[in-house]
C-alpha cells in the first residue's frame, strides 16, 4: 500500500503541544463527534511549550488572572481554578502580592498546570464522544500535503505520521533558544535568560550585559536576582525603552468601537493620545483607555495597507510594545529597585557584533544612539533578551526551512509568521489556500499582529476547532 493510501493516524495532527496545540485539542475534545487527535511535541509534557515550562516562581505571567482565562467563553475560569489551587495549598507565596485572586499574577509554571488540568477534563468529555488525544514525543522535521491529508516526518522515527488535517501550532521561536541564520554568534556567547542554575555559576559581582529591553529582559533580571547575582547589569536596546508596569485601571469607554472611521496609524495615535489626556484630566490611569484598544488591533491591522503596517512597525512598534506588553508588578518593583541602587542601567544602543573574547569575559560592539562611532563593552556574562523571532525565513530549524523551500508556506505580511486566510488555512507560495494545512497562534502574527496572548490563542483555538469539525463531516 503506498503512503498516500495509508489509513491516517489522526483526524487532526497538531504540530506543537504548547499552549496553542493544547487549547486546540481541548476545543476539539469538547465538540460532539468521534475524532482522533495526535499532538507531536518534543517536550515530555503538553500544555507548557516555551512560555510555561518555567519553574521559578519569579517568572510570572505579565497579565493578572482575570485577563488570562483559557476559556474564551468564561473570563473567570482561571480565577476560579487559582482560588481552588491556592485553597488546597498549591501556591502559599500568593499572599505576598496582597491582592484579590483575580488580580494575582501567577507563576508561569503554575499556569501550565492549569492548562494541563483543562486538557485532562476535556479528555474526559471527549471519551464520552469516542474522541481521543495522543501525545507523540518528537520533533517534526518535514511535512507533505496531499489530497487526502498531511504526512509528517519526525527526527529519530522511521515511520511518518498521517493526518486528515494538519495544524502548525509551533508556538513562539524565542530568539534566545532558536538557531537563526546569520545571527548565531549572540546565542553562542549568551546565557539562557531563564536558566537560573547556569547563572549561579557566574561571577556574582561581575558585569552582565543584556541585549534587548522587553519582557524577556525582565525575566532575565529576575533570574539573575534569584541566582544571587549582585553586580552591575547593563541593558542595550535600540530605543532604550522599558516595559511599563501593569496596573489595574478602571474601565473606559470603547472609543474605537464607537468610531470605525479611525483606520490609519496616525489617526489611532492621535485619538489614543486624546483619550489618555481626557483620562489624566479626570485623574484616571492612562492605561484605562489604552486597554480598550487591544480588542480592535486584529481589525485595524487586517484592514491596513502594507504601507500603513510598515509605518506602524517602524515608528510606533517600540512604544506599543513598552506600553501594551507591560511588566508584572513584582518584576517592575525589582527593576525599579536595581535602577535606584545604581546597579541596572538601560542604554539606547544597537548591537553591532559579538567579539571573540578571552575566557571569563564577553565583548560586544555597540553603537549608542546619536553617535557614529562604535564602542566596545565588556562584561563577565551576556544574555540575549531580544524576544521572539517571528520571521520564519531566519529560523534555522528543519520544518520552517523545508516548508519555505518547497513553497508549502509563504511569509506573512512584513515577513511576520506565515500567510493564512482569516480562518487559519495556510497559503502556499502561489497564494493558494490549503484545505488540509492550518496554523494558529504565533505563526499568524502577520495576519493579526497580536496573536500570542492567551486570549488570542484561546479564541483562535475555538474557531479553528469548529472549522475542522465542520470540514470532517
**Domains of the chain: total:** 3
Domain match, 161 and 289 both: no
**Same domain assignment for residues 277 and 220:** no
Q: What does the alpha-carbon distance between residue 428 and residue 407 come to, in Å, rounded to a whole number?
A: 6
In a domain, 70, yes or no: no
User: Based on the domain organization, do 142 and 169 belong to the same domain?
Assistant: yes
What 8-state DSSP symbol labels residue 316?
I
Determine the pLDDT at residue 3. Answer: 44
Does residue 413 sit within a domain? yes
pLDDT at 359: 85
Residues 6+ apart with CB under 8 A from 4: 146, 147, 148
d(CA 419, CA 391): 12
Q: What pLDDT sits at residue 323?
A: 94
Q: Residues 281, 183: one domain?
A: no
Last residue of a domain, one of 280, 307, 324: 324
Q: What is the pLDDT of residue 473?
A: 63
Same domain assignment for residues 183 and 239: yes
Position 280 in a domain: yes
Task: Show the domain range for 134.
Answer: 3-59+107-173+390-471
Confidence (pLDDT) at 261: 87
Q: Which of 364, 384, 404 is the last residue of a domain?
A: 384
Task: Give the number of other CB atoms < 10 A from CB of residue 96.
Answer: 9
Domain membership flag for residue 249: no
Q: Whole-prediction pTM value?
A: 0.94
Are 277 and 404 contained in the same domain?
Answer: no
Taking each helix axis as running N to C, give the angle between helix 454-471 and helix 19-30, from 0 to 180 degrees, rounded to the nearest 10: 50
- For residues 394 and 458, state if they share a domain: yes
pLDDT computed for residue 1 by the predictor: 37
- DSSP-assigned letters across all residues of 115-142: HHHHHHHHHHHHHHHT-EEEEEES-EEE
CATH number, domain with residue 333: 3.50.50.60
CB atoms within 10 A of CB 290: 20
Residues 202, 181, 449: CA angle, nearest 5 degrees: 95
So what's the pLDDT on residue 6? 56
Cell of 344: 541596572
Within this chain, do residues 139 and 206 fall inside the same structural domain, yes or no? no
Task: Examine the domain organization and report whether 415 and 449 are in the same domain.
Answer: yes
- What digits encode the pLDDT tens for the residues 239-289? 999 999 999 999 999 999 988 888 888 888 899 999 999 999 999 999 999
Assess whether 143 and 268 both reside in one domain. Answer: no
Do 143 and 191 share a domain, yes or no? no
**Phi/psi at 363 (nearest 5 deg)?**
-135, 135
Q: Do residues 186 and 236 share a domain?
A: yes
Low-confidence ranges of the chain (pLDDT < 50): 1-5
Q: Cα–Cα distance between 362 and 354 in angstroms, integer?
A: 8
**Is residue 94 one of the residues assigned to a domain?**
no
DSSP 76-113: THHHHHHHHHHHTTS-GGGGGG-S-GGG---BHHHHHH
Q: How far is CA 22 from the centre of its chain?
A: 14
Answer whether residue 69 is part of any domain. no
Select from 277, 292, 324 the last residue of a domain.
324
Amino acid at each position: 500500500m503506498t503512503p498516500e493510501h495509508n489509513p491516517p493516524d489522526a483526524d487532526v495532527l497538531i504540530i506543537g503541544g504548547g499552549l496553542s496545540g493544547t487549547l486546540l485539542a481541548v476545543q476539539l475534545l469538547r465538540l460532539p463527534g468521534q475524532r482522533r487527535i495526535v499532538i507531536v511535541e518534543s517536550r515530555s509534557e503538553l500544555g507548557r511549550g516555551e512560555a510555561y515550562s518555567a519553574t521559578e516562581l519569579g517568572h510570572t505571567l505579565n497579565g493578572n488572572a482575570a485577563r488570562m482565562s483559557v476559556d474564551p467563553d468564561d473570563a473567570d475560569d482561571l480565577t476560579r481554578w487559582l482560588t481552588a489551587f491556592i485553597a488546597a495549598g498549591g501556591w502559599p507565596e500568593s499572599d505576598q502580592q496582597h491582592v484579590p485572586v483575580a488580580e494575582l499574577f501567577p507563576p508561569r509554571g503554575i499556569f501550565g498546570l492549569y492548562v494541563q488540568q483543562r486538557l485532562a477534563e476535556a479528555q474526559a468529555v471527549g471519551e464520552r464522544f469516542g474522541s481521543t488525544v495522543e501525545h507523540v514525543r518528537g520533533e517534526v522535521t518535514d511535512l507533505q500535503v496531499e489530497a487526502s491529508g498531511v504526512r509528517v516526518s519526525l527526527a529519530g522515527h522511521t515511520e511518518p505520521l498521517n493526518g486528515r488535517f494538519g495544524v502548525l501550532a509551533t508556538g513562539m521561536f524565542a530568539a534566545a533558544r532558536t538557531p537563526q541564520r546569520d545571527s548565531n554568534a549572540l546565542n553562542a556567547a549568551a546565557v539562557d535568560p531563564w536558566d537560573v542554575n547556569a547563572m549561579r555559576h557566574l561571577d556574582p559581582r561581575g558585569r552582565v550585559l543584556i541585549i534587548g529591553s522587553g519582557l524577556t529582559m525582565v525575566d532575565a533580571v529576575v533570574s539573575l536576582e534569584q541566582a544571587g547575582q549582585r553586580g552591575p547589569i547593563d541593558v542595550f536596546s535600540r530605543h532604550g525603552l522599558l516595559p511599563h508596569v501593569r496596573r489595574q485601571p478602571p474601565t473606559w469607554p470603547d472609543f474605537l468601537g464607537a468610531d470605525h472611521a479611525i483606520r490609519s496609524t496616525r489617526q489611532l495615535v492621535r485619538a489614543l493620545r486624546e483619550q489618555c489626556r481626557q483620562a489624566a484630566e479626570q485623574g484616571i490611569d492612562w492605561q484605562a483607555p489604552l486597554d480598550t484598544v487591544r480588542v480592535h488591533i486584529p481589525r485595524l491591522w487586517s484592514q491596513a495597507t502594507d504601507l500603513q503596517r510598515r509605518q506602524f512597525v517602524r515608528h510606533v512598534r517600540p512604544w506599543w510594545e513598552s506600553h501594551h506588553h507591560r511588566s508584572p508588578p513584582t518584576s517592575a518593583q525589582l527593576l525599579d529597585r536595581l535602577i535606584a541602587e545604581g546597579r541596572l542601567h538601560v542604554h539606547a544602543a544597537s548591537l553591532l557584533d559579538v567579539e571573540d573574547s578571552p575566557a571569563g569575559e564577553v565583548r560586544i560592539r555597540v553603537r549608542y544612539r546619536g553617535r557614529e562611532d562604535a564602542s566596545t563593552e565588556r562584561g563577565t556574562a551576556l544574555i540575549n533578551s531580544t524576544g521572539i523571532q517571528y520571521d520564519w525565513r531566519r529560523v534555522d530549524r528543519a520544518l520552517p526551512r523545508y516548508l519555505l523551500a518547497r513553497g508549502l508556506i509563504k511569509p506573512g505580511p512584513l515577513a511576520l509568521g506565515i500567510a493564512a486566510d482569516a480562518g487559519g488555512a495556510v497559503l502556499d507560495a502561489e497564494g493558494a489556500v490549503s484545505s488540509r494545512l492550518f496554523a494558529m497562534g504565533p505563526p499568524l502574527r502577520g495576519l493579526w499582529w497580536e496573536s500570542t496572548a492567551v486570549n488570542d490563542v484561546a479564541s483562535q483555538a475555538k474557531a479553528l476547532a469548529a472549522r475542522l469539525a465542520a470540514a470532517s463531516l
